[in-house]
A = this chain, B = another copy of it.
Amino acid sequence: MTVSPLDALETPAVVVDLAIARANVARFQAHADAAGLAARPHIKTHKLPQLARLQIEQGAVGITCQKVSEAEAMVAGDPSIRDVLITYNIVGAAKVARLRALAGRVRVAVVADSESVVSGLSAGFADAAEPLDVLVECDTGGQRCGVASPEAARDLARRIAASPGLVFEGLMTYPAAGKAGEAAEFLRAAKALIEAEGMTVARVTSGGSPDIWQARTDGVLTEYRPGTYVYNDRSLVARGVATLDDCALTVLATVVSVPTSNRAIIDAGSKVLTSDLLGLTGHGAVLGRPDLAIDQLSEEHGRVVSDGPIGLAVGDRLRIVPNHVCVVTNMVDAVHVKLEDGRIESWPVAARGKVV
């Protein structure tokens, strides 16, 4: 039998295949280049400055982060990270002050979807040496954050442009999956209304890996922010966006019990695989064993079941593609990265747990 360097890892372990991740990044960058879209990957999936650098080296214009602390960790992690979009309403003077400190080091832009948020940003940046670029977040169907109409987008753009310390830069949305058409319609209308006021809409940015291969300008987008595509996961495989062979991140687990002929227990539970289902049944795909289902997780146990004899013994190792990869990287202090030369390195997940 071939001895794999994976055999030396203590389990459960989160393993990243760098060659697959690189290929995933290259494939999307080529798509974005062909579509005339700037690529600005969301680092919430990997949380690794090293992979952000790889994305930038392949052509990304910068990165996307969700929280200020996440952006701080990424910028501190690699000097190639010089351009950050934070797609989140930053609320509260303390967070705005951290945003300003960050904006003193690298190019930072941020979103807002209300006058309250704009006022807070303006209060923090009114006396800054450089104004802050602010995009209006638009709710194009996702029903999360965002202004509800193109008219509201125009009104908030006007408010941003009139606020000391702020510059109106453009429009941002995170569309509902499968709703790119509706998103584009909203954004085109908002852009026209804003331009009718004499303002420039320098950037219109959308995102989401589920619709990654359909991403195009639609006559309005300038930038796309995919996250999960760098690793892919069972949810994207189920949607036909990737194959299991394109999944760069797997969870390595050990069978610790085979209590019955069709049940085994592995040492990876919800503290590694997480409880995220994303509409799927079961908690991950066991590579090479499509007959197995992970039907139940507790914190440290994963229950694996089969219709027929399970064919597993205590000590056997399984590799699992998780349902939702972004949340898995948040569970561990380090991932084990299989380099292209076959060696395995441990990389701290620099932006893990950065929720503030």
Interface residues of chain A, those whose CB is within 8 Å of chain B, are: 10-12, 44, 66-67, 88-89, 91-92, 94-95, 113-114, 116-117, 139, 143-148, 254-260, 263, 265, 267-268, 270-272, 274-277, 296, 298-301, 303, 313-315, 326-327, 330-333, 353, 355-356
> For A277, what are the chain B residues with a Cβ–Cβ distance below 8 Å?
275
B145 touches A259 (CB 8 A): yes
Closest Cβ of chain B to A260, distance in Å, is: 7
**Which residue of B is nearest A91, CB measured?**
B256
**Which residue of B is nearest A260, CB measured?**
B148
> For A276, what are the chain B residues with a Cβ–Cβ distance below 8 Å?
270, 275
**Which residue of B is nearest A227, CB measured?**
B299
> For A270, what are the chain B residues with a Cβ–Cβ distance below 8 Å?
274, 276, 327
A355 touches B300 (CB 8 A): yes
A88 touching B327 in the complex, CB below 8 Å, given contacts A10-B356, A259-B146: no
29 A-B contact pairs sorted by A residue (CB < 8 Å)? A10-B92, A11-B356, A66-B299, A67-B300, A89-B256, A89-B265, A91-B267, A91-B314, A92-B315, A116-B313, A116-B315, A143-B303, A144-B259, A144-B265, A144-B298, A144-B303, A145-B259, A145-B301, A147-B259, A267-B355, A268-B355, A270-B327, A271-B330, A299-B326, A299-B330, A300-B355, A331-B353, A332-B355, A333-B353
Bound-complex Cα distance A326 to B66 (A): 25
Interface centre among A260, A296, A300 (most CB of B within 10 A): A300
Closest Cβ of chain B to A288, distance in Å, is: 20
B144 touches A44 (CB 8 A): no
B300 touches A265 (CB 8 A): no
